[in-house]
Structure 1
Amino acid sequence: MKFSKTMKALGLTAAVALAPLMASSAQAAGTLTTAVAIDPASWDPIDTFLVDWSSAANNIYDGLTARGADMKLTPALATSWEFLDDNKRIRFKLRENVKFHNGEPFNAQAVKFTFDRLLGEEGRKGPQQSNYNSIERVEVVDDNTVDFIMKQPDPVLLTKLAGYGAMIVPPKYVQEKGDDYFNTHPVGTGPFKFVEYNPKDRLILEANPDHWGGAPKLDRLVFRFISEANTQVAELQAGRIDVATLIPFGLAPTIEKSQNLSLMSVTGPTVVSLRFNTKDGITKDVNVRKALIMGVDRDAIIKAVLLGHGKPIASFQSELSFGNDPALKPLPFDLAKAKQMLQAAKVPAGAPVRIDFRGNDATFREVAQATAGYLQALGLKPALQPHEPPVLLNDIIPNGKTGEAWHQAWGGWTFDYDNNAYLMYHSGEKWNPYYNDAKLNEMLEKQRLVYDVKEREKILQEIARYVADQALELPLYNQNTIYGVNKRVKDFDAPADRRFRYTKTSVE
Structure 2
Amino acid sequence: MMIMKSSHSRRTLALATALTLASIGLTACGDTDSSDSGASDSTPIRALLAAQPATLDPIVGARSGQIVWATMLETLIGTDDNLGPADTSLLTSWTRTDATTWTFTVRPDVSFSNGEKADAAAVANTITLTRDSEASQLKSYFGNVTSIEAPDAGTVVLKTKAPQYNIPDLLTTVYLVPPKYYEEKGSDGFAAAPVGTGPYVWAGGNAGRDMSVKPNPEYWGTAPSNQGITFTWANEAAQRLALIQSKSVDVAFDLPPAQASAAKAANVEVVSTETAMKIIAFLDSTKAPFDKPELREAAALSIDRDAIVRGIFDGQAVADAGLLNVRPGEQPAQSVTPNLDRAKQLVGSGGPTVQITYPAAQYTNIEEVAQAVGGSLEQAGFKVNYEPLDYGTLVKRVIGRQVPGIAIFAGVPNVAVPDFFASGFMKTQSITGNCPDPRFDEMAQEALEQDDADQAAPIYEQLNTMGVVEKHCYVPLYRQVFNYATAPGVTGVEFGPLNTVDFTKTTR
TM-score range, shorter chain: 0.7 to 0.9
Deviations 1:119-175 (A, max 9, x none): 67xx45655555444433333333322222334444443233223xx3234456667
* Percent identical: 23
Deviations 1:430-470 (A, max 9, x none): 6344x454433321332243442212222111111222331
Q: 1:92 to 1:304 in 2, by over 3 A?
A: same
Helix, strand or coil at the partner of 2:59 = helix
TM-score under structure 2 length normalisation: 0.80
Q: Distance in 2 between matches of 1:417 and 1:485?
A: 33
What one-letter code is carried by the residue in structure 1 that aligns with 2:310? K
Helix, strand or coil at the partner of 1:55 = helix
Larger gyration radius, structure 1 or structure 2:
1
The answer to whether 1:82 aligns with 2:95 is yes
CA contact (8 A) 2:272 2:481 kept: no
Q: Describe how 1:51-450 pairs up with structure 2 within 5 A.
A: 51-52=64-65, 54-67=66-79, 71-75=83-87, 76-84=89-97, 86-115=98-127, 123-124=133-134, 127=137, 129=139, 131-163=141-173, 166-171=174-179, 182-208=190-216, 211-273=219-281, 275=283, 277=285, 284-286=292-294, 289-290=296-297, 292-317=299-324, 319-320=326-327, 326-334=331-339, 338-339=340-341, 342-343=344-345, 348-349=348-349, 351-352=351-352, 354-358=354-358, 360=360, 363-375=365-377, 380-388=381-389, 402-403=404-405, 405-427=406-428, 431-433=432-434, 435-450=435-450
Helix, strand or coil at the partner of 1:149 = strand
Q: 1:251 to 1:155 in 2, by over 3 A?
A: same
Q: 1:168 to 1:328 in 2, by over 3 A?
A: same
CA contact (8 A) 1:39 1:199 kept: no
Q: CA deviation at 1:65?
A: 0.5
TM-score under structure 1 length normalisation: 0.80
Q: 1:355 to 1:78 in 2, by over 3 A?
A: same
What one-letter code is carried by the residue in structure 2 that aligns with 1:366? E
Helix, strand or coil at the partner of 2:242 = helix
Q: Distance in 1 between matches of 2:117 and 2:359?
A: 48
Q: Distance in 1 between matches of 2:395 and 2:190?
A: 30
What count of residue pairs does the alignment treat as equivalent?
490
Q: Distance in 2 between matches of 1:68 and 1:238?
A: 36
Q: Distance in 1 between matches of 2:393 and 2:271?
A: 34
Q: Distance in 2 between matches of 1:94 and 1:228?
A: 43
Q: Distance in 1 between matches of 2:411 and 2:259?
A: 23
CA contact (8 A) 1:114 1:169 kept: yes
Q: CA deviation at 1:4?
A: 2.5
The answer to whether 1:34 aligns with 2:47 is yes
Q: Distance in 1 between matches of 2:222 and 2:462?
A: 43
Q: CA deviation at 1:255?
A: 1.7
Q: Distance in 2 between matches of 1:353 and 1:45?
A: 37
Helix, strand or coil at the partner of 1:414 = coil
CA contact (8 A) 1:48 1:128 kept: no
Correspondence for 2:59: 46
Q: Distance in 2 between matches of 1:474 and 1:56?
A: 30
Q: CA deviation at 1:395?
A: 5.7
Q: Distance in 1 between matches of 2:139 and 2:203?
A: 28
Q: CA deviation at 1:393?
A: 6.0
Correspondence for 2:30: none
What one-letter code is carried by the residue in structure 1 that aligns with 2:314? L
CA contact (8 A) 2:357 2:408 kept: yes
Q: 1:265 to 1:208 in 2, by over 3 A?
A: same
Correspondence for 1:461: 461
CA contact (8 A) 1:114 1:168 kept: yes
Q: Distance in 2 between matches of 1:385 and 1:462?
A: 33
Q: CA deviation at 1:356?
A: 1.9
CA contact (8 A) 1:6 1:249 kept: no
Structure 1: stretches of 5+ with no match in the other structure: none
Q: CA deviation at 1:111?
A: 2.8
Deviations 1:13-41 (A, max 9, x none): 24257899998623545632212345457
Q: Distance in 2 between matches of 1:125 and 1:283?
A: 27
Structure 2: stretches of 5+ with no match in the other structure: 24-34
What one-letter code is carried by the residue in structure 2 that aligns with 1:140? A
Q: 1:453 to 1:368 in 2, by over 3 A?
A: closer
Deviations 1:155-198 (A, max 9, x none): 443233223xx323445666788887654443322122333333
Q: 1:28 to 1:370 in 2, by over 3 A?
A: same
Q: Distance in 1 between matches of 2:433 and 2:75?
A: 32
Q: 1:195 to 1:423 in 2, by over 3 A?
A: closer
Helix, strand or coil at the partner of 1:462 = helix
2:38 pairs, out of 18, 25, 37, with 25
RMSD: 3.9
CA contact (8 A) 2:268 2:487 kept: yes
Q: CA deviation at 1:82?
A: 0.4
CA contact (8 A) 2:102 2:159 kept: yes
Q: CA deviation at 1:271?
A: 2.1
Deviations 1:314-367 (A, max 9, x none): 22255517xx96352543345xxx425754x5x535644635232735934433
Q: Distance in 2 between matches of 1:72 and 1:425?
A: 23
Q: Distance in 2 between matches of 1:110 and 1:397?
A: 28
Tell me whether 367-376 or 144-153 shows the greater mean CA deviation: 367-376
Correspondence for 1:472: 473
